[in-house]
Structure 1
């Protein structure tokens, strides 16, 4: 039996990565991967050790219903998604919507290439349809530094942080 899940859909992932590129300036690749995970599983935001400024996001995340259910193991699901996320980012970069030079340096940076109106409408629909948790991920979590103690890697516990240069 085949079961669909957007976590393993490269096209869905490319769309989410473009949402991140549109809303977050110059994000590290690992930060983009973490934000993508939380866009896909907004209920998992409640498991992050959030700073005091984002405590309201925890309540919103607990109330968020995921039609595909949250993963049994966030760490293993996040690791399984890595290759799909990397392929999706390469695809978006190849289209010219992400700066290829910055991408080669480990950053997701949106280019000045205009977005077709139909795609822009879909991006806006996605953000508004998925409520305040998605806005919290794009505007709140994205503001947390990625590296070091109390960085997003450490707070999410999805990636190793102890050897980061912060």
Structure 2
């Protein structure tokens, strides 16, 4: 039996990364941050597992109640994020090759979207996507980029998705 999941669909990954980058244009996003945001895009109910919830985005915590629980049972979220890296990297490299993501910015660890090169069909598609208007997507793209990412109180530690003890302070 074949079971489809968007996590392992390269084209869906392109769409997700573009949607996240387009929604976070005012924030500077690192590669690792984008990977974590993409994970939460795929598994929005996992937002409820961020502990402790960051105080600087406490106003967004109420929005977690509207996020339905997921069907998947994720025993090892860090492993799932690790497995996603292949698809995420491939999608990012394709976007760099097309000039949609700045190669120079990517090489310096940051991601910058060149919105002028986005196809019109994509812009129309994104305008009709219900998830991009949801509370979950708002938390992912408006709240999480405001949270410190590295260190003892960063999103890496709070989410449990990435190693944080070797972060430079």
TM-score, structure 2 as length reference? 0.86
- Tell which deviates more after alignment, 57-66 or 16-25: 57-66
1:6 corresponds to: 6
Deviates more, 1:67-76 or 1:139-148: 67-76
What is the aligned partner in structure 2 of residue 121 from structure 1?
A: 124
User: Deviation of residue 59 (structure 1)?
Assistant: 4.4
Residues 62-77 of structure 1: matches in 2 within 5 Å? 62-65=65-68, 69=72, 71-77=74-80
How far apart, in 2, do the equivalents of 1:67 and 1:145 lie?
Answer: 26
- Decide whether the 8 Å contact of 2:56 with 2:147 is kept in 1: no
Note if 1:86 corresponds to 2:89: yes
Partner deviation per Cα, 1:50-89 (whole Å, 9 max, x = no partner): 2124345444334323676353331221111111111111
CA 129–34 in structure 1, closer or farther in 2 if over 3 Å, else same: closer
Deviation at 1:115, TM superposition (A): 2.5
Quote the offset at 1:143 in angstroms.
Answer: 1.3
Instruction: Tell me the equivalent position of 1:42.
Output: 44
Q: How does 1:19-58 map to 2 (within 5 A)?
A: 19-24=19-24, 25-49=27-51, 50-58=53-61
Q: Give RMSD over aligned pairs.
A: 2.1
Offset of 1:104 from its aligned partner?
Answer: 1.6
Aligned residues: 166
Q: CA deviation at 1:128?
A: 5.0
- Residue 26 of structure 1: how far off its partner (Å): 2.9
Question: Hey, what does 1:160 align to over in structure 2?
Answer: 163
Give the 4+ runs in structure 1 shifted more than 4 A: 127-130
Task: List gaps (5 residues or longer) in structure 2.
Answer: none
Is the 8 Å Cα contact of residues 127 and 135 (structure 1) preserved in structure 2?
Answer: no
Gaps of 5+ in 1: none
SS at match of 2:129: helix
TM-score using structure 1 length: 0.88
